[in-house]
Structures are given as structure tokens and as C-alpha cells.
Structure 1
């Protein structure tokens, strides 16, 4: 059976505002997120990534459910958010996801290196795909 005892999936159990919040975050994405999104689609076309995915109380920047990988792009303000980032990482690991974080500066100055690191983490999932 899919979902909980009542047949509801995790998405159906989310608050009504979650979908609109995800949409808003996608529309107002910063330049590092837009660049990485384009690069992921070009460099790793066999992998399906989603943007601004609601997971529990969080919205993650990018997620591949197949690879069980979450990618977070951290802005300059994340140095002050180390505790909340650690809590988010613990939650996601408990849900069965690996988390990889990159600074905005990394995406802006070394996009190829960032994509290569992501590709290395997803290589086991891409085997046997065209």
C-alpha cells in the first residue's frame, strides 16, 4: 500500500502552503541556484533532480530521489546558521538521504568542479543508463 494507513502520501500530508512556497522559491532562485540547475540538466541528463523540494519542515535546494542525494547551496549567511544546517542534515540523513553542501562562491567560480563532485556521488546510480 502506498502512503499511510489512510492511503495518503507524504506530499498529501503537507500543509497547503508548501506547494506555493516551493513554487515561490523556484521563481526567486538566486544566480548560483540557476547556474547549478542548468549545469545539472546539461551534464547529468540521466539523473532526475528536482528543485526546492519540501522534506519535512525544510525545502532542499536540489534532490535526486533515485540517488538519495540532497544538494544544498549555502549563501554567505549560512556561517551564522551552522546549528540549523546541522539539524537539517541530521533530519535528511534520518530520512535516508546523503547531503552535499556547496558555497555560493564555489558554484560561481568552479561550476565544473561542483558538477564533477555531484557526478561522482551519483555515479553508482547512473550505471546502465544511456
Structure 2
């Protein structure tokens, strides 16, 4: 049985740590630039989840995985959170290839729009909760008396 990470809405959430993820060190410079850019939706989301404030789950911001930099990463779940802004409007094929690669590593990707983060943050957080419960939640086995 996997270790329980947290409980969301009375449902235990199992850890799903994905080991040995590929890492491209040549992306470090770009990573630093992305962190300095202070993209508003990412800053808003980060303030909501940093320091384990969201169900005591630890989020990393701007994480290198393979040849990509993901917006947020939950190491204990193998979960990537992507906040798509206008730069993604013409990149559906690229995003699809990227997501397929990340999922091939055993990771899951939760996508939301920067508009929703800026304007409907509570809805985004509820959708993230639901996503985590759906993919990582476990129901206690029923006992028969």
C-alpha cells in the first residue's frame, strides 16, 4: 500500500513519487529568467500554494524535467501544473507533444488558463482538488461484517 500524503475532502491521497526524472542542465539559465519574469498568474497561484498551504502539499515552481520547464511540480504526486497564457494559443501541437512526453515519464498534467487563475482562483483550486482526488485518491476498503 502506498503512503498517504494528505487528505482532501475526507479522501486519503496517495503519494506517487516518480524517480529518476531526466534533467537538462543547459536549461538552468532559461529557468532563472522565467523565475525573474514574475508572470502574474504564476505569482498568484504560487502565493496560494507555497509553503504547503494547499492541503500541506509541497509545490516546486519552475522545474526542469527533460528538455522542458514546467510551471509547477508536486514531487510527491508526480503532478505538473501548467498555467497556459496567450503564448499557448498557437502551440497546441507543441503542448500536445510536450504533455505526451511528460506523461510517458509517469507524470500527470493539470492545465488551467492564466485568465482563470487571475479571475476565478477559487474555481481553479477546486478543480485542482478534484483532479488530485480523482487521480491520487483512495477509498478505504469496505469491511464486511
TM-score range normalised by the length of the shorter chain: 0.7 to 0.9
Of residues 19, 22, 43 in structure 2, which corresponds to 1:34? Answer: 43
Structure 1 gaps of 5+ residues are 4-8, 126-130
The answer to whether the aligner puts 1:120 opposite 2:118 as a matched pair is: no
Greater Cα offset, 68-77 or 116-125: 116-125
Counterpart of 1:57? 67
- Could you tell me which of 77, 87, 94 is aligned with 2:97? 87
Q: Is the 8 A contact 1:40 1:115 kept in 2?
A: no
Aligned residues of 1:69 and 1:100 also touching (Cα < 8 A): yes
TM-score, length-scaled by structure 2: 0.71
Deviations 1:99-119 (A, max 9, x none): 111111111110011112222
The SS at the match of 2:129 is helix
Aligned to 1:105: 115
Aligned to 2:85: 75
Unaligned runs of 5+ in 2: 1-18, 138-145
Higher relative contact order (CA 8 A, sep 6+): 2
1:10, CA displacement in angstroms? 4.2
* Greater gyration radius: 2
In 2, the alpha carbon distance for the partners of 1:77 and 1:27 equals 17
**Structure 1 residue 76: deviation in Å?**
1.4
Structure number with the higher strand fraction is 2
Q: What value does the CA root-mean-square deviation take over the aligned residues?
A: 2.3
CA contact (8 A) 1:43 1:115 kept: no
CA distances 1:26-70 after superposition (whole Å, capped 9, x unpaired): 111310000000011274151111111111111000010111111
